Structure 1
Amino acid sequence: MSAPTSARGKARRRAVDILFEAEQRAVPAAAALKDRRDNTDQVINPYTVDIVEGVTAMQPSIDEFLSTYSQGWPLERMPSVDRIILRVGTWELLYNDDVPDGVAVSEAVELARTLSTDESPSFINGLLGRLQQLKPTLLA
C-alpha cells in the first residue's frame, strides 16, 4: 500500500531488506549491511544498523519465541519475508525499550501489508500480539 514515511519506518524497511538479502544469500547480516554501505549510494540510517545488529544478536531467542508461539507454523515453513518481519517486530517488541509495544506490532503489520501476502498481516498481528501479551513472562 503506502511506503513508510517516518525515518524509523524507512529504517525498519531497509533493515528487513538487508536481513532478507542476508538470508537469501546465506551470508551474515553484518556482511550484507557492509555490502550495502560499500556498493550502493543508500544512506543507512543508524536505526537500521541497530535493528540488524539487534536481530542478529537476539535471533536464537527470537526464533525460539516465534517457533513456540506460531501454532503449527514452523519458522522454516513461513515465507522468508514474514519470518524476517516477525524477527524485526519481535526484537522491537521485546528488546528495544524505545519503541512502544503497540508501535512495534503495528509497524510489523504494515510491513507485511506492503511486502507480503494477503494473509500475512493478520498472521503477524496475531503472533506478535501473543508475544506482547506474554512479554512479562518471556523476559522474566
Structure 2
Amino acid sequence: MGDRRKSRELALQALFALDLNKTDSRPQIDDFIEQHGGDLSEPTRHFFQTLVDGVLENRKEIDDLLDQWAKNWKISRMPAVDRNIMRIAVFEMLHLSDIPPSVSINEAVEIGKKFGTRDSGPFINGVLDRIRVQYEP
C-alpha cells in the first residue's frame, strides 16, 4: 500500500472517531497518531495531518457541498464511513491541486469498498463525480 493510501485510510479512521464522538479535538488527533501511527513514514504522517486538518478546517464548506450534491441524502443521514471518505475526497478536490480529481475519487471509491458497505462504492462515486463536474477546470 502506498503512503498516500495509508494516509487516507488513517485519516478516515481518525475523522470517523471524531465524528462519532462529536468533537474535533486536537488532543484526540494527537492520541490517535500516538496509538496508530508509530511506524508511519514522515510523508505518510504529513499527508495524514494535511487531510485531517484540512477536513476539520473546511468541514462546513465540504458538508454543504455534500448536502447539495447527494441526491435525496442529508449529510446527517449518510453512513459515517461514507460521509468521512467523501469529506476527505472533497477536501482534496478543492484544496490540493497537485492531486487530479479522478485520483481523489478513485481512492475514495476503493477505500469505500474496503471500509463501507457493498453500496458505498457506487454511492461515493456518484456524489463525488457530481461535485467534480462543478469544480474541475
| TM-score, normalised with respect to structure 1 | 0.88
Question: Separation in 2 of the partners of 1:110 and 1:29?
Answer: 28
* Paired position in structure 2 for 1:132: 132
The one-letter amino acid of 2:100's match is P
How big is the alpha-carbon RMSD for the aligned residues of Structure 1 and Structure 2? 1.6
| From 16, 37, 42, the counterpart of 2:38 | 42
| TM-score, normalised with respect to structure 2 | 0.90
Q: Does the Cα contact within 8 Å between 1:21 and 1:32 map onto a contact in 2?
A: no
Question: Separation in 2 of the partners of 1:10 and 1:40?
Answer: 11
- Which stretches in structure 1 are left out of the alignment for 5+ residues? none
* Paired position in structure 1 for 2:75: 75
Q: Alpha carbons of 1:18 and 1:107: their partners in 2 closer, same or farther (altered >3 Å)?
A: same
1:10 matched to 2:6? The reply is yes
| From 21, 37, 42, the counterpart of 1:25 | 21
Q: How many residues align?
A: 133
Deviation track 1:71-125 (CA, whole Å, cap 9, x = no partner) reads 1100111100000001001111111112111100000000100000111100100
| Identity value in percent | 29
